[in-house]
Structure 1
Amino acid sequence: MIKIFSRWKPGSALLLLLSVGAQAGPPLPLVTGTDYPPFADTAMPGGGIAVRVVRAAFERMGETPRIDVLPWKRGFVMVLGGQYLATFPYIHTPERELEFHYSEPIFKGGSYLYTLPGKQFDLGNPDALKGRSLCVPHGWGSPAQSSVTAAVNRGEFRLERPADLAGCMRMVAAGRVDGFTALEALMSKVSEEVALAGRFERAAEPVQVVELALIAPRNNPGSAALLARFNQGLKLLKADGSYKRLLEGG
């Protein structure tokens, strides 16, 4: 007992009380979806990379997240309606940024154009888009937004919107669409699941650098503080190496 108390530092009791109080608070209601491997998928360890990181970041701050899994569109609407505090993982789009605050990136990586071998084209070149088509899963933001939107409005470019990335891969493999875009990690996982690994050619350069974030509605006055706490927890995870282990599934 003497040894234990000799290592007790001034302020430790206060820190302990604060820690216990934080842990005893109500769980934070958050929502995500599934079928978005390796980031959010109920079939993956811990629910996927993004779920593991979000949970660990809040826990590092002494908070307990309650992460529900719902259809993406339903969860998104329920966050705006106040039933949940935040949702994830989402990329930046001009439309979303009107309604949501964004956290620091949960994950950051290049999104590439994938086509059948020898069929690559430049999404940023209006002339290269003429007569072409791109598959973008329902609810996803379109890459190269301005050039693609302008070409679609002119009737020179076609977008297909299946339910998920697997649908896009099947459409491109069948020759019904010219290409799709995806993060490399996501492409690798899904192509294996649908037995299409090795079928597609990747562009040499990314179409865009994608940041997947936790997003919280601007109409909730507590959103900025929530994301600030998450960002601090994420920073701590990166500082001690935990973040890298979470990405690797540890």
Structure 2
Amino acid sequence: MKRAVGWLMLCAAFGVSHADTFVVVTGNDYAPFADQKLPEGGMTTEIVKRALAESKAELKLDWQPWSRGLEETKAARFAGTFPYLKTPEREVEFLYSQPIYTIEDRLFAKPGSNLDAANLKTLEGKKICLPLGWAPAAKLAPMLKSGALKQDQPKDISTCVKMVQAGRADFFVTDQFQGNAALQAAGAKDISMGASTVGSATLHLIAIKSGSQSKALLDAFNNGLAALKKSGEYERIVNKHTK
């Protein structure tokens, strides 16, 4: 009995119980960050798995379409979801982990389109392909709100590649790794990445504020993430997925 009590006190000191199990959801078609077909499910999936393991927490991972996963996390059917950008709308309802990774967004369009992320006037009246459930780059959000920039919202980035190829959208915006992975998967040599960045943003594990496990999940992840960075494992994981 004394040994069991001592173990429980030790677990409590680290903020995580040996019985903590978190059911978390993510989605596909977001290379190199999340996709069932990628090694370890992608970079952010491996980081989430490893960080929670560092905190001695058990992870049960589900895969759902992005919009469904977010809605079911909002309804507390999942303890959390990842990887998500911060938006004012989401911050009203969700708690955010420490950043999993920082991305730099780029504009992808047909060569000769003269669209330049550094000159927003070149985007006026154009149509962006923005997958359902994705948040627009911060500098483009006012243009979408005012109607200066039109949008189409298909289910995934692969469809955006096809829409730009077919002229049904003028461009899409995502980070360089995911954008180039999408082009490679589609064999799309008629779309190129712009030289200017649209902006940078951070990816997070998020949990609904009212969730019974939300604080425990994010604490466990944040502690584990810090341990991965201290040991050098975080850098190794990132390099493996972005080389």
TM-score (norm 1): 0.83
Structure 1 CA distance for aligned equivalents of residues 113 and 43 of structure 2: 32
What corresponds to 1:194 in structure 2? Answer: 186
What corresponds to 2:127 in structure 1? Answer: 133
Q: How many residue pairs align between the two structures?
A: 233
Whether the 8 Å contact between 1:27 and 1:66 is mirrored in structure 2 is yes
Residue deviations 1:53-93 (CA, integer Å, cap 9, x gap): 00100100111111111222222222122221111111111
Structure 1 CA distance for aligned equivalents of residues 171 and 163 of structure 2: 9
Of stretches 49-58 and 26-35 in structure 1, the one that deviates more from structure 2 is 26-35
Whether the 8 Å contact between 2:108 and 2:173 is mirrored in structure 1 is yes
The residue type equivalent to 1:216 in the other structure is: A
Structure 2 CA distance for aligned equivalents of residues 167 and 55 of structure 1: 29
- Is 2:140 aligned against 1:148? no
The residue type equivalent to 2:204 in the other structure is: A
Unaligned regions of 5+ residues in structure 1, if any?
1-12
Match of 2:27 among 6, 23, 33: 33
- Is 2:171 aligned against 1:176? no
Of stretches 61-70 and 72-81 in structure 1, the one that deviates more from structure 2 is 72-81
Cα deviation, residue 221, structure 1: 5.2
What corresponds to 1:216 in structure 2? Answer: 207
Unaligned regions of 5+ residues in structure 2, if any?
none
Q: Which has the larger radius of gyration?
A: 1
Structure 2 CA distance for aligned equivalents of residues 34 and 201 of structure 1: 23
Whether the 8 Å contact between 1:33 and 1:72 is mirrored in structure 2 is yes
Q: How does 1:75-86 map to 2 (within 5 A)?
A: 75-86=69-80
Q: How does 1:31-110 map to 2 (within 5 A)?
A: 31-110=25-104
Residues 23 and 59 from structure 1, CA distance in 2 versus in 1: closer, same or farther, beyond 3 angstroms? farther
Cα deviation, residue 195, structure 1: 0.8
TM-score (norm 2): 0.86
Whether the 8 Å contact between 1:104 and 1:231 is mirrored in structure 2 is yes
What corresponds to 2:228 in structure 1? Answer: 237
Structure 1 CA distance for aligned equivalents of residues 7 and 221 of structure 2: 20
SS in 2 for 1:207: strand
Deviant stretches of 4+, over 6 Å: none
Match of 2:177 among 171, 182, 185: 185
Residues 226 and 174 from structure 1, CA distance in 2 versus in 1: closer, same or farther, beyond 3 angstroms? same
SS in 2 for 1:73: helix
SS in 2 for 1:134: strand
Of stretches 79-88 and 118-127 in structure 1, the one that deviates more from structure 2 is 118-127
Aligned-residue identity in percent:
33
What corresponds to 2:152 in structure 1? Answer: 160
Cα deviation, residue 43, structure 1: 0.7
Structure 2 CA distance for aligned equivalents of residues 72 and 193 of structure 1: 20
